[in-house]
Structure 1
Amino acid sequence: MNPRSRTLPVLVFWLVVALSMMPVPACASVTGDTDGDDIVSKAELTGQILDYLGGSSHTSLSDLRSASHIHAYYPRTIVDSTGDELTLYKPIKRIIAYNTDCAEVIRSLGATKDVIGIGTVVEEDDFFSEFGEVPAVGKWNSPDCERILALDPDAVIVYGKWPEKGKLDDKLKGTDIEVIRLNLYVPENMTGDVQKLGIVLERESEAEELIDFYQHYADLVGERVGALPEGERQTMYLEGYTDFKTVSAGSGGGQMCVMAGGRNIASDLVGAYPKVDTEWVIAQNPDLVIKAASSSYDNTSEPDAILNGIVSRPGWADMDAVRNDRVHILTSDIYTGPRYVVGGAYMAQWLYPDLFADINPADIHQEYLERFQGMEVPDRIFVYPASEP
């Protein structure tokens, strides 16, 4: 046997290994797929390697690198937040991030350079200053599909429910653009959805590091409150951004209440965000009242005014939470979303100050921002007042 014929398979094998480990650029179609099934088979890749080694001008080194990577790591499949199975056949390298939750997790995974378009809600948020030159392509629930098509992304990342498929998916049919629906604001599903985004972006190790962070603090709180008898658990009224609109067991806020060891007085009400009235809240007489605010503050005047407005509501002066100064404001920055463990730690400390006297939620927030967002804690007010009197 010709010695060259014996060494060629070995050369091909090591060339495949070396090429598949190299980062590859995004491509409009599946590079290396010659039979149209979107998969680069071993036979297809071997044929292209042999063509390249034989000096063929039809296969470039860049194409060969892409094909080798796709052969090694694709297809890959996730189940999105709607329950639909999504299979990817090539790397996702050009992303449109439509909401702040996915943008924040993308930053945690170190993939901000892949973002080529954003929703207006991201554009308007100072927290995402690095996207200042990135074009906006519509609202998180109302996309501008013409601008999406002009940017030619590999994927658009949106919430599971919003925007409706008729406003986005249906209008992108026939293109190579993937619509990836992940609810990166629901505490209960956060670790799973972070893992899925890590798979989509080939950032599995970064995703696991973030998941470990979440799990560590969720376990820290859970282990302490888990031993509390049901009769000793504190009751909580959690009011949303709209006055007297609360949260039930089916909401992210309700999940945070459970995480913190509290008993949500509205857990059995119908709908995720039921509307109640002041008499109902007074009758429930919660131990703790938390008001969600839409954004953090740069001074105490506004949250102080909101707090005073709550405690001065007619009939509320005799409620246990008001009499004992256990009324707090929690801003959207750490209420559900990617920083839910920070808000959950504050909730737990407000519910059980003695049990969590050694925990400083502000330190958890700082650790998160430094490790995963690459920044210091902004000089803003995220909770008010921060601790129990």
Structure 2
Amino acid sequence: MKLWTIVIALALLCAPSLSQDGYTNQLVSVIDEVGSVVTVPLCPEKIVCLTPAASEVISALGDSDRLVALTQDCTMPPALQKKESIGEAGREADVERILELDPALVIAKTGSLFPEEYEVQLTNYGIPVIRYRVLHMDTLMPMIEDLGLILNRQEEAQEMRDRVGGYYDIVLKRTVGIPEDGKPSVYFMSMGHFDWTASSASTGHERIIEAGGNNIAKDLEGKVPHVDMEWVIEQNPEVIVYSMPTSQYEGMTPSVEEMEQKREEIMSLPGFDQIDAVKTGKVYIVDINMASGLVEVVNMLYYAKWFHPDLFEDVDPRAVHEEIYEKYFDMEIERIHQVHPESTSYN
């Protein structure tokens, strides 16, 4: 697991006046996902968040009241959708409105998902910006620690890390010794495209490997290579996983019917009836939102159970999903389905 996001816990006393929380105006410094050391106020009263995983963790830590505005992709828990919107996503963020809100902290995505000139505008105004995208467990865990420090919720953050990390460790410990010839070949359909996949430079690849699979596209160039369907047929993957974007479903999460329709569409592609994954029914649909935030560990458990049902016979990803939603968001998931089929039985 990467260690470059280790938190630097520096408490720096400033002016003696008390904040609304009763804290003297203290600062803490963290190293964000891009490796920047950023100093921010302890327990910032107003936060603007453009990173869904961060708003989710802030809510899970009990500090959603500090979130004054969000991008529209910050949808978990659903109560956040009542917050002021400052754009569809980071690229479309209304920087002028952010400046008007005068937050003590802005949390943004990495790279071009939040243009550098936006950050310059904010920092020139005295607003610190920390960046996280969080597409893998090795970036989720440091972010939880960072936010726990910033919000003075270290104990709650450690409990969250232990809970989520414990399930992640189950996957890693059980798959580490699987021989290469015991790993199923996997084709990952990225971001709602049948012909987009994931090379070894992508987090999609890491997820497949850690769950005990063999990514058929690992040697292709670029993070998200585009391939011909004929090539996929020739590779004859034993498992197909399709990442379903929010543009392909109507609600907060996809319905079983929407996912089954997409699954049938994939299995009916010309020539796909020759592929082992289709013959055995091992074609899975995953809500793209499962690839980030606290439910990323649930995603990992599903992958592991799909790839190695016997090895993970005692693991119930749905139960873990329910545990996380109930523990951190006081939500039931009876009507929430973000993968299909959930079972490893295909008949």
Identity across the alignment (%): 29
- Partner letter of residue 370 of structure 1? E
**Change in CA separation of 1:68 and 1:315 when aligned onto 2, cut-off 3 Å:** closer
- Answer whether contact 2:294 2:324 (CA < 8 A) is retained: no
2:263 and 2:19 map into 1 onto residues whose CA distance is: 59
1:134 maps to: 83
**Change in CA separation of 1:66 and 1:140 when aligned onto 2, cut-off 3 Å:** closer
1:292 maps to: 243
2:195 to 241, 244, 266: 244
Q: TM-score, normalised by structure 1?
A: 0.78
- Answer whether contact 1:93 1:201 (CA < 8 A) is retained: no
Structure 1 residue 140: Cα displacement: 2.1
**Change in CA separation of 1:195 and 1:67 when aligned onto 2, cut-off 3 Å:** closer
**Change in CA separation of 1:89 and 1:130 when aligned onto 2, cut-off 3 Å:** closer
**Change in CA separation of 1:89 and 1:152 when aligned onto 2, cut-off 3 Å:** closer
Query: Could you say what secondary structure the match of 2:327 adopts?
Result: helix
Structure 1 residue 39: Cα displacement: 5.2
1:65 and 1:315 map into 2 onto residues whose CA distance is: 65
1:244 and 1:188 map into 2 onto residues whose CA distance is: 27
Structure 1 residue 214: Cα displacement: 1.9
**Change in CA separation of 1:68 and 1:113 when aligned onto 2, cut-off 3 Å:** closer
- Partner letter of residue 265 of structure 1? I
Establish whether residue 259 from structure 1 lines up as the match of residue 210 from structure 2: yes
- Partner letter of residue 294 of structure 1? P
Establish whether residue 107 from structure 1 lines up as the match of residue 65 from structure 2: no
- Partner letter of residue 13 of structure 2? V
Structure 1 residue 102: Cα displacement: 1.7
Query: Could you say what secondary structure the match of 2:240 adopts?
Result: strand
Structure 1 residue 369: Cα displacement: 0.7
1:77 to 15, 23, 29: 29
**Change in CA separation of 1:312 and 1:222 when aligned onto 2, cut-off 3 Å:** same
Establish whether residue 117 from structure 1 lines up as the match of residue 117 from structure 2: no
- Answer whether contact 2:13 2:27 (CA < 8 A) is retained: no
2:323 maps to: 367
2:150 maps to: 200
- Partner letter of residue 323 of structure 1? K
Establish whether residue 268 from structure 1 lines up as the match of residue 219 from structure 2: yes
- Answer whether contact 1:285 1:320 (CA < 8 A) is retained: yes
Structure 1 consecutive aligned stretches of length 4 or more whose deviation exceeds 4 Å = 64-68
**Change in CA separation of 1:67 and 1:364 when aligned onto 2, cut-off 3 Å:** closer
Establish whether residue 377 from structure 1 lines up as the match of residue 333 from structure 2: yes
Structure 1 residue 347: Cα displacement: 0.8
Structure 1 residue 68: Cα displacement: 8.8
2:13 and 2:337 map into 1 onto residues whose CA distance is: 52
Measured on the aligned residues, the alpha-carbon RMSD in Å equals 2.3
- Answer whether contact 1:40 1:67 (CA < 8 A) is retained: no
2:21 and 2:183 map into 1 onto residues whose CA distance is: 57
Query: Could you say what secondary structure the match of 2:99 adopts?
Result: helix
Q: TM-score, normalised by structure 2?
A: 0.87
1:335 maps to: 291
| Larger relative contact order, structure 1 or 2 (CA cutoff 8 Å, min sep 6) | 2
2:249 maps to: none
Provide Cα deviations, 1:267-316, integer angstroms capped at 9, x if missing partner. Answer: 2222221111111111211111111112432342x222211111111111
Query: Could you say what secondary structure the match of 2:147 adopts?
Result: helix
**Bigger share in strand:** 2
Instruction: Extract unaligned runs of 5+ from structure 2.
Output: 1-10, 247-252
**Change in CA separation of 1:171 and 1:65 when aligned onto 2, cut-off 3 Å:** closer
Instruction: Extract unaligned runs of 5+ from structure 1.
Output: 1-37, 46-62
1:250 and 1:187 map into 2 onto residues whose CA distance is: 16
1:213 to 146, 149, 163: 163
2:22 and 2:289 map into 1 onto residues whose CA distance is: 42
Q: Which region of structure 1 is more displaced relative to structure 2, 336-345 or 364-373?
A: 336-345
